[in-house]
Structure 1
Amino acid sequence: MNKGPIRTTDDDARQSARHMLAAMRHAVLAVNDAGTGHPHLSKIACQIDEAGVPVALLSGLAVHSQALAADPRAALLVETQQDRGDPMTWPRLSLQVTARVIADGAGLRDRWLRAHPKAAVFIDLPDFRFWRLDPQAGFLNAGFGAAFRLTPADLGLA
Protein backbone atom coordinates (compact mmCIF):
# COMPACT_ATOMS: atom_id res chain seq x y z
CA MET A 1 0.00 0.00 0.00
CA ASN A 2 1.38 3.42 -0.99
CA LYS A 3 1.22 5.75 1.99
CA GLY A 4 2.28 8.76 -0.07
CA PRO A 5 4.40 11.65 1.15
CA ILE A 6 1.71 13.41 3.19
CA ARG A 7 1.19 12.26 6.77
CA THR A 8 -1.90 12.54 8.91
CA THR A 9 -1.81 15.90 10.67
CA ASP A 10 -1.01 15.43 14.35
CA ASP A 11 -0.45 17.65 17.39
CA ASP A 12 3.30 17.87 16.73
CA ALA A 13 2.65 19.22 13.22
CA ARG A 14 0.09 21.69 14.54
CA GLN A 15 2.46 22.89 17.25
CA SER A 16 5.35 23.20 14.80
CA ALA A 17 3.27 25.32 12.40
CA ARG A 18 1.98 27.54 15.21
CA HIS A 19 5.53 28.01 16.52
CA MET A 20 6.76 28.97 13.05
CA LEU A 21 4.04 31.60 12.77
CA ALA A 22 4.75 32.97 16.24
CA ALA A 23 8.46 33.32 15.43
CA MET A 24 7.88 34.77 11.93
CA ARG A 25 9.26 38.24 11.24
CA HIS A 26 9.55 37.93 7.45
CA ALA A 27 7.92 35.81 4.78
CA VAL A 28 7.65 35.51 1.02
CA LEU A 29 4.32 36.75 -0.32
CA ALA A 30 2.98 35.45 -3.63
CA VAL A 31 0.28 37.47 -5.37
CA ASN A 32 -1.44 37.34 -8.75
CA ASP A 33 -0.23 40.19 -10.95
CA ALA A 34 -3.36 41.97 -12.21
CA GLY A 35 -1.73 42.98 -15.49
CA THR A 36 -0.28 39.65 -16.55
CA GLY A 37 -1.95 37.02 -14.36
CA HIS A 38 1.47 35.64 -13.51
CA PRO A 39 2.55 35.12 -9.91
CA HIS A 40 4.65 37.86 -8.33
CA LEU A 41 6.83 37.21 -5.28
CA SER A 42 7.99 39.68 -2.63
CA LYS A 43 9.84 39.25 0.62
CA ILE A 44 7.86 41.15 3.25
CA ALA A 45 7.95 41.89 6.96
CA CYS A 46 5.21 39.81 8.53
CA GLN A 47 4.15 38.72 12.00
CA ILE A 48 1.05 37.45 13.75
CA ASP A 49 -1.50 39.57 15.57
CA GLU A 50 -2.94 38.79 19.00
CA ALA A 51 -5.26 36.18 17.45
CA GLY A 52 -2.39 34.40 15.68
CA VAL A 53 -3.30 35.66 12.18
CA PRO A 54 -0.47 36.86 9.93
CA VAL A 55 -0.37 40.61 9.30
CA ALA A 56 1.88 42.67 7.07
CA LEU A 57 2.67 46.36 6.79
CA LEU A 58 2.69 47.15 3.08
CA SER A 59 3.14 50.27 0.97
CA GLY A 60 0.24 51.02 -1.34
CA LEU A 61 2.83 51.88 -3.98
CA ALA A 62 4.21 48.33 -4.04
CA VAL A 63 3.32 45.88 -6.80
CA HIS A 64 2.13 43.34 -4.24
CA SER A 65 -0.29 45.82 -2.60
CA GLN A 66 -1.79 46.76 -5.95
CA ALA A 67 -2.14 43.08 -6.83
CA LEU A 68 -3.86 42.31 -3.50
CA ALA A 69 -6.27 45.20 -4.04
CA ALA A 70 -7.28 43.61 -7.36
CA ASP A 71 -7.28 39.99 -6.17
CA PRO A 72 -7.05 39.21 -2.45
CA ARG A 73 -5.98 35.60 -3.01
CA ALA A 74 -2.34 35.11 -2.14
CA ALA A 75 0.16 32.73 -0.59
CA LEU A 76 2.70 33.10 2.17
CA LEU A 77 5.90 31.09 2.62
CA VAL A 78 7.40 31.00 6.10
CA GLU A 79 10.79 29.39 6.69
CA THR A 80 12.65 28.34 9.78
CA GLN A 81 16.32 29.06 9.20
CA GLN A 82 18.93 27.02 10.97
CA ASP A 83 22.63 27.49 11.55
CA ARG A 84 23.73 24.38 9.68
CA GLY A 85 22.64 21.77 7.24
CA ASP A 86 20.89 21.76 3.92
CA PRO A 87 18.29 24.56 3.63
CA MET A 88 16.07 22.17 1.66
CA THR A 89 15.62 20.14 4.85
CA TRP A 90 14.70 23.11 7.05
CA PRO A 91 11.03 23.37 8.03
CA ARG A 92 8.80 25.58 5.91
CA LEU A 93 5.14 26.47 5.97
CA SER A 94 3.08 27.48 2.94
CA LEU A 95 -0.25 29.20 3.52
CA GLN A 96 -3.01 30.03 1.10
CA VAL A 97 -4.39 33.33 2.39
CA THR A 98 -7.05 35.90 1.67
CA ALA A 99 -5.78 39.45 2.22
CA ARG A 100 -7.66 42.53 3.35
CA VAL A 101 -6.64 45.97 4.53
CA ILE A 102 -7.13 46.52 8.24
CA ALA A 103 -9.15 49.74 8.41
CA ASP A 104 -7.72 50.87 11.74
CA GLY A 105 -4.24 49.47 12.25
CA ALA A 106 -3.54 51.69 15.26
CA GLY A 107 -3.79 48.72 17.60
CA LEU A 108 -1.04 46.94 15.67
CA ARG A 109 1.41 49.82 15.56
CA ASP A 110 3.15 49.31 18.93
CA ARG A 111 3.30 45.53 18.54
CA TRP A 112 4.75 45.96 15.05
CA LEU A 113 7.43 48.39 16.18
CA ARG A 114 8.54 46.05 18.98
CA ALA A 115 9.27 43.37 16.39
CA HIS A 116 10.40 45.73 13.61
CA PRO A 117 11.89 48.84 15.25
CA LYS A 118 13.38 50.16 11.99
CA ALA A 119 9.85 50.46 10.61
CA ALA A 120 9.53 53.64 12.69
CA VAL A 121 11.00 55.47 9.70
CA PHE A 122 8.02 54.68 7.43
CA ILE A 123 5.15 53.23 9.49
CA ASP A 124 3.29 56.55 9.61
CA LEU A 125 3.68 57.43 5.94
CA PRO A 126 0.26 57.81 4.30
CA ASP A 127 0.67 54.98 1.78
CA PHE A 128 1.41 52.28 4.40
CA ARG A 129 -1.41 50.03 5.59
CA PHE A 130 -1.65 46.90 7.67
CA TRP A 131 -3.02 43.89 5.82
CA ARG A 132 -4.58 40.84 7.45
CA LEU A 133 -3.59 37.60 5.71
CA ASP A 134 -6.32 35.13 6.72
CA PRO A 135 -5.15 31.52 6.22
CA GLN A 136 -7.53 29.35 4.20
CA ALA A 137 -5.28 26.27 4.04
CA GLY A 138 -1.71 25.35 4.75
CA PHE A 139 1.03 22.87 3.99
CA LEU A 140 3.85 22.15 6.43
CA ASN A 141 7.05 20.56 5.21
CA ALA A 142 8.70 19.77 8.54
CA GLY A 143 11.66 17.98 6.95
CA PHE A 144 12.32 14.93 4.82
CA GLY A 145 9.27 12.66 4.84
CA ALA A 146 7.29 14.95 7.16
CA ALA A 147 4.63 16.78 5.14
CA PHE A 148 1.21 17.78 6.51
CA ARG A 149 -1.89 19.53 5.19
CA LEU A 150 -3.25 22.12 7.64
CA THR A 151 -6.59 23.82 8.16
CA PRO A 152 -7.19 27.15 9.90
CA ALA A 153 -8.25 25.08 12.95
CA ASP A 154 -4.89 23.30 12.92
CA LEU A 155 -3.28 26.76 13.14
CA GLY A 156 -5.51 27.67 16.09
CA LEU A 157 -7.58 30.07 14.00
CA ALA A 158 -11.01 28.48 13.64
Structure 2
Amino acid sequence: MFMPLLIASEELAVQYFFDDRYNYYSDSERISTRVNRRIFYKHSDVFKEALLDYEQNYKNISFFECNEASSSDFIVKLEPNFFYNPLMQTMYADLKYYLFKDPSVQIDRGLLSIKKQMYLQARHDIQLKNIYLEFLDQLSNMIPKRGPEQQINGSFCSLL
Protein backbone atom coordinates (compact mmCIF):
# COMPACT_ATOMS: atom_id res chain seq x y z
CA MET A 1 0.00 0.00 0.00
CA PHE A 2 2.82 2.43 0.80
CA MET A 3 4.82 1.71 -2.35
CA PRO A 4 2.15 2.69 -4.95
CA LEU A 5 1.62 6.00 -3.17
CA LEU A 6 5.34 6.67 -3.29
CA ILE A 7 5.53 5.88 -6.98
CA ALA A 8 2.50 8.04 -7.78
CA SER A 9 4.02 11.01 -5.98
CA GLU A 10 7.20 10.81 -8.07
CA GLU A 11 5.34 11.37 -11.34
CA LEU A 12 6.31 14.58 -13.08
CA ALA A 13 3.58 16.77 -14.51
CA VAL A 14 4.40 18.58 -17.74
CA GLN A 15 2.11 20.95 -19.59
CA TYR A 16 2.66 21.31 -23.32
CA PHE A 17 1.87 24.26 -25.55
CA PHE A 18 1.73 24.46 -29.36
CA ASP A 19 2.07 27.92 -30.84
CA ASP A 20 -0.68 28.45 -33.44
CA ARG A 21 1.93 29.51 -35.98
CA TYR A 22 3.33 25.97 -35.94
CA ASN A 23 0.21 23.95 -35.16
CA TYR A 24 -1.41 23.59 -38.59
CA TYR A 25 0.09 21.44 -41.32
CA SER A 26 -0.93 20.50 -44.81
CA ASP A 27 0.83 18.48 -47.44
CA SER A 28 0.01 17.25 -50.87
CA GLU A 29 -0.28 13.59 -51.71
CA ARG A 30 0.90 14.33 -55.27
CA ILE A 31 -0.51 11.08 -56.61
CA SER A 32 0.10 12.14 -60.20
CA THR A 33 0.43 15.29 -62.23
CA ARG A 34 -3.37 15.51 -62.53
CA VAL A 35 -4.37 14.51 -59.02
CA ASN A 36 -3.18 16.54 -56.07
CA ARG A 37 -5.10 15.81 -52.86
CA ARG A 38 -4.22 17.72 -49.72
CA ILE A 39 -3.72 16.32 -46.23
CA PHE A 40 -4.62 18.68 -43.39
CA TYR A 41 -4.03 18.11 -39.69
CA LYS A 42 -3.14 19.87 -36.47
CA HIS A 43 0.06 18.90 -34.71
CA SER A 44 -1.62 19.23 -31.32
CA ASP A 45 -4.26 16.65 -32.29
CA VAL A 46 -1.66 14.16 -33.49
CA PHE A 47 0.36 14.80 -30.31
CA LYS A 48 -2.71 14.02 -28.15
CA GLU A 49 -3.19 10.72 -29.98
CA ALA A 50 0.47 9.83 -29.44
CA LEU A 51 0.15 10.68 -25.73
CA LEU A 52 -2.53 8.03 -25.27
CA ASP A 53 -0.09 5.33 -26.41
CA TYR A 54 2.87 6.91 -24.63
CA GLU A 55 1.26 7.14 -21.21
CA GLN A 56 0.24 3.48 -21.30
CA ASN A 57 3.92 2.52 -21.39
CA TYR A 58 5.57 5.28 -19.34
CA LYS A 59 4.07 6.27 -16.02
CA ASN A 60 6.80 8.60 -14.72
CA ILE A 61 5.85 11.68 -16.78
CA SER A 62 2.33 12.95 -17.30
CA PHE A 63 1.81 15.34 -20.22
CA PHE A 64 -1.32 17.47 -20.51
CA GLU A 65 -2.36 20.51 -22.52
CA CYS A 66 -1.57 23.92 -21.09
CA ASN A 67 -4.46 25.31 -19.07
CA GLU A 68 -4.72 28.45 -16.94
CA ALA A 69 -6.34 26.54 -14.09
CA SER A 70 -3.60 23.89 -13.91
CA SER A 71 -0.18 23.78 -12.34
CA SER A 72 2.69 21.48 -13.25
CA ASP A 73 6.37 20.87 -12.63
CA PHE A 74 7.37 22.06 -16.11
CA ILE A 75 5.92 23.70 -19.22
CA VAL A 76 7.26 22.78 -22.63
CA LYS A 77 6.61 24.91 -25.71
CA LEU A 78 6.68 22.90 -28.95
CA GLU A 79 7.35 24.21 -32.46
CA PRO A 80 7.11 21.41 -35.04
CA ASN A 81 8.41 21.74 -38.59
CA PHE A 82 7.64 18.81 -40.89
CA PHE A 83 8.51 18.40 -44.55
CA TYR A 84 7.58 15.40 -46.66
CA ASN A 85 9.44 14.61 -49.89
CA PRO A 86 7.08 12.42 -51.93
CA LEU A 87 9.66 11.48 -54.56
CA MET A 88 12.05 10.07 -51.96
CA GLN A 89 9.18 9.03 -49.64
CA THR A 90 11.01 10.66 -46.76
CA MET A 91 9.63 12.68 -43.86
CA TYR A 92 11.94 15.28 -42.34
CA ALA A 93 10.56 16.17 -38.93
CA ASP A 94 12.04 18.76 -36.58
CA LEU A 95 10.67 19.65 -33.17
CA LYS A 96 11.98 22.71 -31.36
CA TYR A 97 11.29 22.62 -27.66
CA TYR A 98 11.61 25.19 -24.88
CA LEU A 99 11.44 23.84 -21.32
CA PHE A 100 10.43 26.14 -18.46
CA LYS A 101 10.31 25.48 -14.72
CA ASP A 102 9.33 29.04 -13.85
CA PRO A 103 8.08 31.94 -16.01
CA SER A 104 11.46 33.60 -15.69
CA VAL A 105 13.59 30.43 -15.91
CA GLN A 106 14.05 28.55 -19.15
CA ILE A 107 16.05 25.46 -18.22
CA ASP A 108 16.51 23.89 -21.64
CA ARG A 109 15.84 24.33 -25.31
CA GLY A 110 16.82 22.36 -28.32
CA LEU A 111 15.95 20.74 -31.60
CA LEU A 112 14.93 17.12 -32.01
CA SER A 113 15.17 15.74 -35.56
CA ILE A 114 13.85 12.62 -37.21
CA LYS A 115 14.35 11.55 -40.80
CA LYS A 116 12.09 8.63 -41.64
CA GLN A 117 11.21 6.66 -44.75
CA MET A 118 7.44 6.60 -45.03
CA TYR A 119 4.65 6.59 -47.54
CA LEU A 120 2.45 9.46 -46.38
CA GLN A 121 -0.44 8.47 -48.63
CA ALA A 122 -1.07 5.28 -46.62
CA ARG A 123 -2.53 5.96 -43.16
CA HIS A 124 -0.76 9.25 -42.58
CA ASP A 125 -2.43 9.55 -39.16
CA ILE A 126 -0.69 6.44 -37.81
CA GLN A 127 2.65 7.33 -39.35
CA LEU A 128 2.58 10.86 -37.92
CA LYS A 129 1.59 9.48 -34.51
CA ASN A 130 4.62 7.17 -34.62
CA ILE A 131 6.88 10.15 -35.32
CA TYR A 132 5.46 11.93 -32.28
CA LEU A 133 5.98 8.80 -30.17
CA GLU A 134 9.67 8.94 -31.08
CA PHE A 135 9.71 12.64 -30.21
CA LEU A 136 8.07 11.91 -26.84
CA ASP A 137 10.77 9.35 -26.05
CA GLN A 138 13.49 11.87 -26.88
CA LEU A 139 11.73 14.70 -25.05
CA SER A 140 11.25 12.59 -21.91
CA ASN A 141 15.01 12.15 -21.71
CA MET A 142 15.48 15.94 -21.81
CA ILE A 143 13.15 16.61 -18.88
CA PRO A 144 14.89 16.57 -15.47
CA LYS A 145 13.96 13.56 -13.37
CA ARG A 146 13.34 15.63 -10.29
CA GLY A 147 10.73 18.35 -10.28
CA PRO A 148 11.28 21.81 -8.83
CA GLU A 149 9.95 22.71 -5.38
CA GLN A 150 7.50 25.25 -6.78
CA GLN A 151 5.06 24.43 -9.56
CA ILE A 152 4.48 26.62 -12.60
CA ASN A 153 0.98 27.90 -13.40
CA GLY A 154 -0.56 27.23 -16.82
CA SER A 155 -1.42 30.91 -17.27
CA PHE A 156 2.22 31.35 -18.35
CA CYS A 157 1.28 29.73 -21.69
CA SER A 158 -0.73 32.81 -22.67
CA LEU A 159 2.55 34.74 -22.65
CA LEU A 160 4.31 32.25 -24.91
Greater share of residues in helix? 2
Q: Quick check: which has more Rg, 1 or 2? A: 2
- Same fold by TM-score, threshold 0.5 exceeded? no
TM-score by length of 1: 0.29
